[in-house]
Amino acid sequence: MPQEKSAGAIIYRVKDGQPHYLLLHYHGGHWEFARGHFEQGEDELKTVRREVKEETGIQDLQIIPGFKGHSKFVFKRTWGLSLEDKKKAPWTMKIVTLYLAKTKTEAVKISHEHKGFGWFSFDDAVKKLPKDAKKVFRKAHEFLISRKSIN
């Protein structure tokens, strides 16, 4: 099975003393974090900053030290394929390295890759995420809450 690697961020901002997490609504119907492929010469953090800026317009990203998680899932790359070719598309294993990051930016400018976005409390965000993303999201939230201050 082919493998792909990408990097992204579980982004939060503080509202009324609580973290609210940014989720992007993908055209496939699911909600997820900002993430994307590496470009030549990039390390994980450069990829994270570039992808977040491209997908959300957010530039004041503060990576929170001490957290790094992974999400894994399988998918078929079927965008733009005929129905017959969709059936033949190979399954691919995707491994996404996710960092926890803070922003003060509320306004988001989504890219063409998404059809919407939202800032959600932990409880609301975990309800929207696909199964493979919930585990790393819970770990990130627990890490954040265990810190003395989220601000």
Distance CA 30, CA 32 (A): 7
pLDDT at 73 > cutoff 70: yes
Give me the count of residues in the chain: 151
78-88: average pLDDT: 70
CA distance to 29, 51, 127, 146, per residue, from 140 (Å): 23, 19, 15, 10
Positive or negative torsion for Cα 57, 70, 127, 12: negative
Lowest mean pLDDT among 22-26, 52-56, 94-98: 94-98
Tokens standing for 30? 């699911």
Q: Whole-model pTM? A: 0.88
- pLDDT value at residue 4: 80
pLDDT at 84 > cutoff 70: yes
